[in-house]
Amino acid sequence: MTKESKIYIAGHRGMVGSAIWRALEKSGYNNLLGKNSKDLDLRNQEAVNSFFEQENPEIVIDAAARVGGILANNDNPYTFLMQNLQIQNNLIDAAVNSEVQKFVFLGSSCIYPKMAPQPLKEEYLLTGPLEPTNEWYAIAKIAGVKACEAIQKQYGKKFISLMPTNLYGFHDNFDLETSHVLPAMIRKFHEAKLNNNAPVKLWGSGTPKREFLFVDDLADAVKFSLENDLKENLYNIGTGKDISILELAETIQEIVGHQGRIVWDSDKPDGTPRKLLDVSRMKEAGWESSVGLTMGIKNTYNWFREHQTEYRKVKI
């Protein structure tokens, strides 16, 4: 791999893909390739195969996915399952049948069983039932992980899977119907602040604990995986530290400057009680996160304020 290697980033306009693009460009990689959904429908196998035949990328990073929070997953189970399977299967199959030297598959920590021991180790995959509120997305991502593992086993190609914890950052999705918890809180507290510090209503009890990773840290991990020979098939990507949803809310409230009350809607689901990744495998390989949660939230909130005319329209 050189700075001139042709690197295709699927999903390059989303939060994750754009962060990876910035990280690689900043490091001097000058042959980056991206296609938006209007020019290339990744759900269309024929279109994806034609694209690979025409462009012949050497490296592929799969940052494309149909994503969303608890509400979106609950309301659209078939869509989340099928569209994610279509996207990743088309990319993986086209890559394995071409001259792609390395493939990086990005998933999510939701692939692990709901009640698995904490922190979550890579070997806990497929050892128990999934969290019902996002099992459709998780099943698709598990299939991608196993497909990459099978390719390594059968063909000896470097197809690796990186499973990040909960992500947030620049170009996040702030749509309250489809967003994840952290960007949703940023928007809720910001709008409540503008509305005379009105009370903010949040889902659940606030007791579950979650781990959050600034998206630029994930991008750095992806770059590390391209530049180094990772021995395993699956790696967790996170900070190794978690925080309760209540503490997260209070942190965001302070950063935003909201002075009102927080009201917890205990009739709404909490999701998995705790989800903390064991990141020792990636740390032993030589990489660890560097952006603290408070700084990451401040950066994200500043980006949100600068792009308020766009966030209502953005679909990740």
State the Cα angle at 300 between 103 and 187, rounded to 5°.
115
Residues placed in the known binding site for NADP(+) = 11-17, 106-109, 141, 164-167, 180
Using CA atoms in the order 224, 289, 202, 13, what is the torsion angle rounded to 10 degrees? -30
Residue 275 φ then ψ, to 5°: -145, 90
Give the integer Cα–Cα distance in Å for 106 and 164: 7
Closest CA to 120 of 308, 278, 267: 278
137 carries an active-site annotation = yes
257: left (phi over 0), alpha (psi -120 to 50) or beta: left
Token reading at 302: 């500043």
Cis check: omega of the bond before 269, within 30 degrees of 0: no
* Block residue for tokens 């997260």: 248
Q: Which of 29, 112, 137, 235 is catalytic?
A: 137
Give the integer Cα–Cα distance in Å for 118 and 275: 7
Give the integer Cα–Cα distance in Å for 67 and 144: 15
Residues placed in the known binding site for substrate = 188, 203, 210, 270
Active site residues: 137
